[in-house]
């Protein structure tokens, strides 16, 4: 296999180091759900809190999807490395 291609696959196949980010995203989702559940008692301010929590959930899901795409790339790179040995 091409040496440059092997080096690129080896770099991409390394394990991720985003455990704290995953924990933060899960915490953000839980907090946003709690905000949605309790915002009904806030009167006229409730819809604003609910909207903000929807945005927080959307941002957390997008972050997890991006991290999932990186994980998929690492998995594909590991498969490519496994085939060349």
Q: What is the pLDDT of residues 47-74, one digit of tens each?
A: 999 999 999 999 999 999 998 898 898 8
Structure tokens at 80: 């490519």
9, burial (CB in 10 Å: exposed 0-12, middle 13-18, buried 19+): buried
What pLDDT is attached to residue 31?
92
What pLDDT is attached to residue 57?
92
- Kindly state the average pLDDT of the residues 35-57: 90
What pLDDT is attached to residue 16?
66
- Kindly state the average pLDDT of the residues 19-28: 86
């Amino acid at each position: 296999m091409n040496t440059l291609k092997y080096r690129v696959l080896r770099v991409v196949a390394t394990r991720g180091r985003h455990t704290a980010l995953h924990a933060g995203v899960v915490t953000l989702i839980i907090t946003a759900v709690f905000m949605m559940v309790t915002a009904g008692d806030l009167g006229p301010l409730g819809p604003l809190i609910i909207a903000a929590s929807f945005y927080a959930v959307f941002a957390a899901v997008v972050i997890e999807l991006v991290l999932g795409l990186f994980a998929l790339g690492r998995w594909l790179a590991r498969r490519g490395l496994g085939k060349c040995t």
